[in-house]
Amino acid sequence: MTTAPLRLLAVHAHPDDESSKGAATTARYAAEGVEVLVVSCTGGERGSILNPSYGRDITDLDEMRSVRTVEMAEAARALGVQHRWLGFVDSGLPEGDPLPPLPEGCFALTPLEDAAAPLVEIVREFRPHVITTYDPTGGYPHPDHIMCHRVAKEAYETAGDAERYRGRGEPWTPLKLYYNHGFSMARIRAVHEAMLGAGLESPFGDWVESRAAREIPEREVTTRVPVADYFDARDAALRAHATQIDPDGFFFAVPRDLELDEWPFEEYELAESRVATTLPEDDLFAGIRPPEETA
């Protein structure tokens, strides 16, 4: 058991990932008095302009970094969370056959200990009880997402060990590690079918078909956090990433009423735990909260 304030650390690969994965959860906990820190491993320098209404192209890495720094600050304000950069450079999403090599010096090519060291330092300083990140596949096969998983798991495992990462702060042992599963097949199907049932065009049609065809094994969802009151904050945070998020696109295709009826949660997989908890859960701090706080 633990004394307040509880602290949550959400580790993401690029600015905008915190707004598309688990955003309403961070907004909810922050509003409830939990200290929430979002870490972006890279500056998103190699992202493309994905919003057709953005109006101009940016190809220079330094310019992209500065534009996305401003976007990220606005998203963090919308969610009510603290934010830190880990300071690595976006690896880009390699495309083509054969795939081109990753750019020199990028995050995904950084040796694990070098890449994890600044995160271990943040964990020892911020002292989170809970850490969230992606599953070992990255949730989506971007080299930075896979690397993000690796550094977050490394930090979870080693931050409490005084023999590791010496000179990077006083040891702190986080209690739970979760993987984000915002796009579980259960959610996709439920929303997809409800959209069709309402006579609307579903944004998930291709997704349902391609997932079924590829038979991707579903990872386990252990924890559903109710977040109905925080979709506004999530959407404001998404819109803050104007270079990346089309305000008329995919992320806004599901009407709010339908989303509230079908899926007022965000989902997680409890990957590691140093406390006893009973699955399924509806709270990332289950087993950690002082008993009088348990809802």
Percentages of the chain per state (helix, strand, coil), in multiples of 5: 40, 15, 45
CA dist 102 and 83 (Å) reads 27
What minimum distance in Å lies between the beta carbon of 103 and Zn ion?
16
The answer to whether 40 and 17 have CB atoms below 8 angstroms apart is yes
CB closer to Zn ion, 45 vs 281: 45
CB closer to Zn ion, 13 vs 177: 13
What minimum distance in Å lies between the beta carbon of 145 and Zn ion?
6
Token digits of residue 110: 């950084």
Cis peptide before 5 (omega within 30 of 0): yes
Residue nearest to Zn ion (CB): 14
Stretch that binds Zn ion, among 1-9, 11-19, 119-127, 242-250 (CB under 5 A): 11-19
What minimum distance in Å lies between the beta carbon of 264 and Zn ion?
25
Stretch that binds Zn ion, among 7-15, 31-39, 178-186, 223-231 (CB under 5 A): 7-15
Annotated binding-site ranges: 14, 17, 145
CB closer to Zn ion, 48 vs 210: 48
CB closer to Zn ion, 13 vs 240: 13
Length of the chain, in residues = 295
CB closer to Zn ion, 15 vs 287: 15
What minimum distance in Å lies between the beta carbon of 293 and Zn ion?
33
What minimum distance in Å lies between the beta carbon of 47 and Zn ion?
8
Stretch that binds Zn ion, among 16-24, 91-99, 115-123, 159-167 (CB under 5 A): 16-24
Packing angle of the helix pair 61-79, 23-31 (nearest 10 deg)? 50
If one asks whether residue 6 binds Zn ion (CB under 5 A), the answer comes out as no
If one asks whether residue 14 binds Zn ion (CB under 5 A), the answer comes out as yes
Among 270, 108, 266, which residue's Cα sits nearest to residue 174? Answer: 270
C-alpha of 43 from chain center: 15
The answer to whether 188 and 245 have CB atoms below 8 angstroms apart is no
Exactly one of 8, 13, 34, 155 binds Zn ion (CB under 5 A); which one? Answer: 13
Strands (E), the chain: 7-12, 35-42, 82-88, 130-133, 176-180, 223-226, 265-273
Annotated binding-site ranges for Zn(2+): 14, 17, 145
Exactly one of 8, 10, 11, 17 binds Zn ion (CB under 5 A); which one? Answer: 17
The answer to whether 36 and 56 have CB atoms below 8 angstroms apart is no
Residues 99-158 that bind Zn ion (CB under 5 A): none
CA dist 194 and 188 (Å) reads 10
Stretch that binds Zn ion, among 14-22, 79-87, 208-216, 271-279 (CB under 5 A): 14-22
In a 13 Å sphere around the CA of 51, the CA atoms on its Cβ side amount to 19
CB closer to Zn ion, 17 vs 281: 17
CB closer to Zn ion, 38 vs 194: 38
- Interface with Zn ion by CB under 5 A: which residues? 13-14, 17
